[in-house]
Amino acid sequence: MSKSLKNAELKQATIVQAALEQFLQQGYATTSMDAIANQAGVTKQTVYRYYISKEELLVAVMEKIQAEQPIPYEFGSAEVETELNNFGCDLLAFHLTPQALGVYKMIMNESGQEGLLKPFMKAGPNRVMRPLKSFLQARYPKLQDAAFCAQMFASMVLVPRNQLIMSGNSRITRAEQEEHVNKVVVLFLHGLLV
């Protein structure tokens, strides 16, 4: 890799990190491209060279957060209950990381901002729902609405995240996460099989 390409990648990573920090500290709406450039130590023109809009930067921030997490869960051929437990535990653990919690709070606080929800949905929830939906369709071919079922499962799994934000508690232990997911899986499978 050439030195100029390495420098460009480093600048781009610095801009994304600066955007993440600004979004989490100031909120999406009040963060300006000037502030991001200032935090990154580059000019605003340099920011625009890599990202044509703040929405595009948000997508890059979401991708950065996801890339820093362990490899996303891949469904296999184990029992449905095992697969859903493993997927649910990974999903919840990711959403309880400080960065993911911070982005979620920002999205909830500023969800009325034009252009904010679409990139969030594309980089986050929609990306997670596709493999879960495919898994449910494969395991339950007669399932009427796999997308709805996937959405309900993920929503139930993520209840502790919402409770954590509302209560102001600092954390949920791994054992508490696993216990919650196990209860969700049992309830969910009971609903599917009725």
Architecture of domain 3-66: Orthogonal Bundle (1.10)
Q: Could you read off the pLDDT of 14-25 as tens digits, one per residue? A: 999 999 999 888
Domain 73-193 has CATH 1.10.357.10: yes
Over 80: is that where the pLDDT of 111 sits? no
101 confidence band (pLDDT: 50, 70, 90): confident
Check residue 169 and give left, alpha or beta (phi > 0: left; psi -120 to 50: alpha).
beta
Q: Could you read off the pLDDT of 151-166 as tens digits, one per residue? A: 999 999 999 998 888 8
pLDDT for the residue 154: 92
Domain boundaries, the chain: 3-66, 73-193
Over 90: is that where the pLDDT of 75 sits? yes
CA 183 – CA 63 distance, rounded (Å): 30
69-89: average pLDDT: 88
- Contact between 160 and 177 under an 8 Å Cβ cutoff? The reply is yes
